[in-house]
A and B are shown apart, each in its own frame.
Chain A
Amino acid sequence: MGNLDMLSLTAYALQVLLIIMAVSIVVHKNNGTIIILITTFSLITASLYVINKAPDVAIAEVAIGSAIIPLIYVISISRQREFIVLDKAMDDFIIADNAFTGVGYVLLKRFTDFYHLELNICNDVRLCSLGAGRDQLLCEQTNVDLIVSKDDERNVYVLKGKASSILTYKLEAMARDYDNIEVVKFKDRDFGD
């Protein structure tokens, strides 16, 4: 009988711990810390499943709840802060003297650092070979946030972004000081089809 009391006492203690964990997840501000907390939360629930005579559910919870779900969160949170730039100009605007010292790169780096984003510059050959008329479609269909291209007639670098994105407006405000940089915003179309 004493053994059984010990078990119910453990169950109550774990439940109180579970409530504390849930409150701390709700209250916490930093998403990176919440991932660790949610892993602990999953482990506590798994031990409560065992106490509730369900070891099969506990195995599934340990495997999925405290291994795969934190992995999904880590991947998505690191991907989510990405600012993807497609470099169509391919000249010293981004890369000067074999290093990231171009005017455009310095501007974009300053911008992404200011808003805690991660700058990711790509120049995929297939995407760059598309004509300028396809730029809006490209922006909507892929995850590209900004397209850098050069207007040879006016000798102006054109940065094209979505009008729906708050970041395009912030970049426009930041690029106002530069004479040879122009920010163009695509008009909004329906999202999600």
Chain B
Amino acid sequence: MNPLLTFVVILIGFYGLSTSTNIIKSVFCVTIIESGVILLFLNLGNLDGGVIPVIGDTLPVGGIADPLPQALMITTIVIGSTVTALALMLCIKVFHHYGTVEWAEILSRESGK
């Protein structure tokens, strides 16, 4: 695992967010960024020689992976799914108001008002 490759995924997400012409496409890119951030956090918590943080009576010899980022990232996944649902709901509302989900058309209608 290389943290730099994970960072590349986040950057690809930002690139897509800044170049996408469609609202739904932007929501897809937010999902990509979210997955990249989760992967980065887990990679930082994965210490050398550690094992899965399930402990019995004695601590494993090589140590364990940090369980705190893992607990936080489960929360991130759940919240990320609700954020996606909310964004898509707003996208449907925008379609019924403007008749389109293309950023350029919506912005031109807003500025031409």
Task: Write the nearest CB–CB distance from A44 to chain B, whole angstroms.
Answer: 9
Asked whether, in the complex, the Cβ of B81 is within 8 Å of the Cβ of A19, the reply is no
Task: Write the nearest CB–CB distance from B91 to chain A, whole angstroms.
Answer: 6
Q: How many residues of A contact B (CB 8 A)?
A: 50
Task: Write the nearest CB–CB distance from A190 to chain B, whole angstroms.
Answer: 11
Does B95 sit at the interface, judged by CB under 8 A? yes
- Chain B residue nearest to A142 (CB atoms) is B96
Complex: A137 Cα to B63 Cα, angstroms? 64
Asked whether, in the complex, the Cβ of B16 is within 8 Å of the Cβ of A26, the reply is yes
Asked whether, in the complex, the Cβ of A68 is within 8 Å of the Cβ of B77, the reply is no
Asked whether, in the complex, the Cβ of B42 is within 8 Å of the Cβ of A41, the reply is no
Q: A15-B1, A41-B35, A51-B1 are in contact. Are A166 and B16 (CB under 8 A)?
A: no
Asked whether, in the complex, the Cβ of A164 is within 8 Å of the Cβ of B1, the reply is no
Q: How many residues of B contact A (CB 8 A)?
A: 55
Complex: A84 Cα to B84 Cα, angstroms? 24
Total A-B residue contacts, Cβ distance less than 8 Å:
145
Asked whether, in the complex, the Cβ of B101 is within 8 Å of the Cβ of A55, the reply is no
- Chain A residue nearest to B8 (CB atoms) is A19
Asked whether, in the complex, the Cβ of A145 is within 8 Å of the Cβ of B96, the reply is yes
| Partner pick for B35 among A11, A34, A45, A51, CB 8 A cutoff | A45
Asked whether, in the complex, the Cβ of A16 is within 8 Å of the Cβ of B15, the reply is no
Interface string of B61-74 (1 = CB under 8 A from A): 00011000010011
Query: For residue B46, which residues in chain A have a CB less than 8 angstroms away from its CB?
Result: 52-54
Task: Write the nearest CB–CB distance from B75 to chain A, whole angstroms.
Answer: 9
Per DSSP, chain B at the interface is helix
Q: A26-B16, A60-B77 are in contact. Are A42 and B35 (CB under 8 A)?
A: yes
Interface string of B1-35 (1 = CB under 8 A from A): 11001101100110110011010110011011001
Query: For residue A51, which residues in chain B have a CB less than 8 angstroms away from its CB?
Result: 1
Query: For residue A168, which residues in chain B have a CB less than 8 angstroms away from its CB?
Result: 99
Query: For residue B77, which residues in chain A have a CB less than 8 angstroms away from its CB?
Result: 57, 60-61, 64-65
Q: 25 A–B contact pairs at CB < 8 A? A: A8-B1, A11-B1, A15-B5, A15-B6, A18-B5, A19-B9, A22-B9, A22-B12, A26-B13, A26-B15, A48-B1, A49-B38, A49-B39, A52-B42, A54-B52, A65-B81, A69-B31, A69-B84, A72-B81, A72-B85, A80-B92, A80-B95, A164-B99, A165-B97, A168-B99
Residues of A within 8 A of B (CB): 8, 11-12, 15-16, 18-19, 22-23, 25-26, 31, 34, 38, 41-42, 45, 48-49, 51-57, 60-61, 64-65, 68-69, 72-73, 76-77, 79-80, 84, 143, 145, 162, 164-168, 170, 188, 191
The 9 closest A-B pairs by CB, nearest first: A167-B99, A26-B16, A165-B99, A53-B65, A76-B88, A166-B99, A52-B42, A22-B12, A15-B5
